[in-house]
Chains A and B, each alone.
Chain A
């Protein structure tokens, strides 16, 4: 329950919703502590709240364990990195980041798998224009919290060339009703405001939006 409370604190503006979601969730509490990166996530330069979960709201920071460049490293405990939303915050544009696509996925979610088959190509297409993709894997095929083995198999199966992390305590659960997956958030890297929130693999909406947004930058 303490882990749940930590997650809920990050979405304080939607506390009631968060608590109700936690009550409905079926994650087991047996999550290896080394995979829980949400504690101690702190970046002094990150935008101040209030934070929220809807379009126009500022995204609260969160930390995860995962692979920043999965195609460039072997996939084991020693190559896991702590990756935070704050890593992609680029207020001055000095990092070259324009938009962040934050995506949720689960092994049981075949729509997520379908979506990820096309993500590497989108990453190559839009990466040079300032898009960064951060995908979070939250559950395995039996709806247990995702593990390092799941993450490794996931990035190898889909040849993921974008940051892919574990979210075993489902920190992003506050953004979606129940455990609907996938969820896609398009976030402005200059402000960390949520520009677009889409439930499901809505490629025909998502990618034209990203394309148009990048064109405006």
Chain B
């Protein structure tokens, strides 16, 4: 969804919001341990519904095998229709209805990372999509009230006086409330990670919808060997149609980061991750 003026506004708002309730990586507490209050900025805008007749895609897992039975949703901010890929990974969802800001959300945040590919009247056949299995729950990292939580190449630092709120409706079992991440093949995922953003690294995270107050500091392994001091921008994708933390189906900058002096990590310097979703980064 091309909405440059809105994107700019959203990015500014998000950074300001994140700035207001976050702090630098090396100091995750606030003076005098005063409880931090974080309010979702909200990004809902009035948009007209568009006609969605039929959505098609071919879904496979990174090994190349079909993503048989992969759960998907065709969701606008006003209505959702669930479906599944068939045994060959083919998705063919007849809808014949109007939706506001429709997107195909593939993956479910349980067994697979969830990503959103925006739909337009001219773009209802999405071609090949890569579904990304999340690590098993047994490999997930438990959240503590503060400190680090790590899965794979992604590390989150939670403030000592902050709070973590999970989406208990979706994740009703405590065993599901563990941090998991999977790398997204950026070049092979242009539907969800539009090339115009210039993303170079991306990850699918779970449990979806978990919010952090203040926003969590992020540290990523510098897998692309960017030079020390390289400035980086961090984005989250809006997967929630309430658009409280990010515009639905789009990407919102939430933090700035830099490659550490030893060149091993990419660490946020301002802002942070307010909600677990899919994240992506690009060099400034």
Contacts and interface: CB of A to CB of B under 8 A. Distances in A.
Contact of A200 (B79, B82, B110, B171): B79
B32 interface: no
A164 to B, nearest CB: 13
B136 to A, nearest CB: 16
B280 interface: no
A19 interface: no
A86 interface: no
A179 B77 contact: no
Contacts of B99: 200
A110 B249 CA distance: 13
Main secondary structure of the interface of B (DSSP, over half): loop
B4 to A, nearest CB: 25
Nearest to B100: A200
Interface string B239-267: 01110000000000000000000000000
Q: B75, B76, B172: which has the most chain A beta carbons within 10 Å?
A: B172
Nearest to A142: B110
Given A107-B170, A109-B80, A181-B79, A143 B71 contact: yes
B217 to A, nearest CB: 27
Nearest to B99: A200
4 closest A-B pairs (Cβ-Cβ)?
A200-B79, A141-B170, A200-B78, A110-B241
Interface of A: 26, 106-114, 117, 140-143, 149-150, 153-154, 157, 177-182, 199-202
Interface of B: 71, 73, 75-84, 96-97, 99, 108, 110, 168-172, 240-242
5 contacts: A110-B80, A114-B77, A153-B168, A157-B169, A181-B80
